[in-house]
Structure 1
Amino acid sequence: MRSKTIFVVLLTIVLIFPSLFLNAALNEDAAKDSGGNAANGEYKSKDEVIYATLSATGEKEALYVVNRFEVTEPGQIIDYGPYKNVKNLTDTEEMEQTDQKVSFEASEGEFYYQGNLENQSLPWDVSITYTLDGKQTEPQDLLGQDGKLEITINTTKNENVDPVFYQNYLLQVSLTLDPTIYNNISAPNATIANAGKNKQISYTVMPENNGNLTLSADVTDFELNGIEISAVPSSMSIETPDVGEMTGEIETLSDAVNEINSGVAQLEDGIKELNTGVAGLADGSQQYSNGISEVNQSSTELVNASNSIKDALTKMNQSLKGESGEMDLSQLTQLPEGLSEIGSGLNETAAGLMTLQKNYVSAFNALNQAMEQIPENNITEEQMNALYNSGANSDVVDQLIETYKAALTVKQTYENVKEGFLAVEETLNSVNGTLTTMSGSINTMAENISNSLAKMDTAGSLEQLQAGIAGLSENYQQFHGGLVNYTNGISQLANNYSELNGGIAELSNGTSELANGAGELHNGTSELADATSDMPEQIQTEVDQMMDEYDKSDFDPVSFVSDKNDKVKTVQFVIKTESIVKEEEKTEEVEEEEEQGFWSRLVNLFS
Structure 2
Amino acid sequence: MKSSVKILITLIIITLFIVPAAAAGTQKEEVIYVNLNGDGSVSHVYAVNIFDMQTGGRITDYGSYYSVRNMVTTDQINVNGDEITIDTTPGKLYYEGDLGAAPIPWDVRITYYMDGVPYSAEDIAGKSGNLEMHIVITKDPSDTEDFYEKYALMMTVTMDANKCRNISASGATMANVGSDKQLSYTILPDKGADVVITSSVVDFEMDAISLNGIRLSLNVDVDTTEMEDDLTELSDGIVKLDDGAWELRDGVNNLSRGVGNASVGGYRIQSGAATLASGTNALSSGLASLAGQNAALTGGADQIFSGLLASANAQLSGSGIPTLTKDNYADVLTAVINSTGDPTGQLTQLLSQLTAYQTFYTGLVTYTTGVGYASTNATLLSSGAITLANGASSLSFGLSELNSGTNELKVAMVNLTDGTGELRDNTTGLDTKLTDKINEVLDPLRGGTGSTHSFVSEKNTQVSSVQFVMHTPAIEKTESEVPDDETEEDLNLMQRVLRLFGLA
TM-score by length of 1: 0.57
Residue 263 of structure 2 aligns with which residue?
A: 282
1:489 deviates by 3.0
Match of 1:54 among 30, 36, 60: 36
Q: Which runs of 5+ in 1 are unaligned?
A: 1-42, 331-452, 592-607
CA contact (8 A) 1:171 1:230 kept: yes
Residue 426 of structure 2 aligns with which residue?
A: 531
Match of 1:232 among 194, 204, 214: 214
Residue 67 of structure 2 aligns with which residue?
A: 84
Counterpart AA for 1:158: S
Match of 1:198 among 165, 170, 181: 181
Counterpart AA for 2:137: I
1:475 deviates by 3.5
Q: 1:576 to 1:535 in 2, by over 3 A?
A: same
Q: 1:556 to 1:505 in 2, by over 3 A?
A: closer
Residues 1:170 and 2:170 aligned together: no
CA contact (8 A) 2:169 2:197 kept: yes
Distance 2:264 2:448 in 1: 75
1:254 deviates by 1.7
1:202 deviates by 0.9
Aligned to 2:140, what secondary structure does the other structure show? strand
Residue 458 of structure 1 aligns with which residue?
A: 353
CA contact (8 A) 1:194 1:200 kept: yes
1:117 deviates by 1.3
1:167 deviates by 6.5
Residues 1:580 and 2:475 aligned together: yes
Q: Within 5 Å, which residues of 2 pair with 1:421-570? A: 457-543=352-438, 551-552=446-447, 570=465
Residue 200 of structure 2 aligns with which residue?
A: 220
Aligned to 1:326, what secondary structure does the other structure show? helix
CA contact (8 A) 2:157 2:208 kept: yes
Distance 1:67 1:285 in 2: 92
Residue 317 of structure 1 aligns with which residue?
A: 298
State the superposition RMSD in angstroms.
4.1
Q: 1:255 to 1:531 in 2, by over 3 A?
A: same
TM-score by length of 2: 0.67
Distance 1:534 1:67 in 2: 47
Residue 127 of structure 1 aligns with which residue?
A: 108
1:550 deviates by 6.2
Counterpart AA for 1:517: A
Q: Deviations over 1:550-595 (max 9, x none)?
A: 654776657655788898654422111123344472232588xxxx
Q: Which has the higher helix share?
A: 1
Match of 2:169 among 185, 198, 201: 185
Q: Deviations over 1:76-114 (max 9, x none)?
A: 88675747353655xxx74544436575876x7x65656
Q: Within 5 Å, which residues of 2 pair with 1:71-150? A: 82=65, 84=67, 86=69, 88-89=71-72, 94-99=74-79, 113=94, 115=96, 117-119=98-100, 121=102, 123-130=104-111, 132=113, 138-140=120-122, 142=124, 144=127, 146=130, 149-150=133-134
Counterpart AA for 1:117: D
Distance 1:565 1:273 in 2: 73
Q: 1:303 to 1:184 in 2, by over 3 A?
A: farther
CA contact (8 A) 1:64 1:114 kept: no
1:524 deviates by 1.5
Q: Deviations over 1:322-344 (max 9, x none)?
A: 221314999xxxxxxxxxxxxxx
Aligned to 1:220, what secondary structure does the other structure show? strand
Between the two proteins, the alignment pairs up a number of residues equal to 412
Aligned to 2:109, what secondary structure does the other structure show? strand
1:529 deviates by 1.8
Q: Within 5 Å, which residues of 2 pair with 1:261-410? A: 261-327=242-308
Q: Within 5 Å, which residues of 2 pair with 1:243-262? A: 243-262=224-243
Q: Deviations over 1:508-543 (max 9, x none)?
A: 211211122112211221222222233334344545
1:228 deviates by 1.6
Aligned to 1:214, what secondary structure does the other structure show? strand
Which structure has the bigger radius of gyration?
A: 1
CA contact (8 A) 1:88 1:95 kept: no
Counterpart AA for 1:483: A
Q: Which runs of 5+ in 2 are unaligned?
A: 1-24, 312-347, 489-504
Q: 1:96 to 1:157 in 2, by over 3 A?
A: same
Aligned to 1:173, what secondary structure does the other structure show? strand
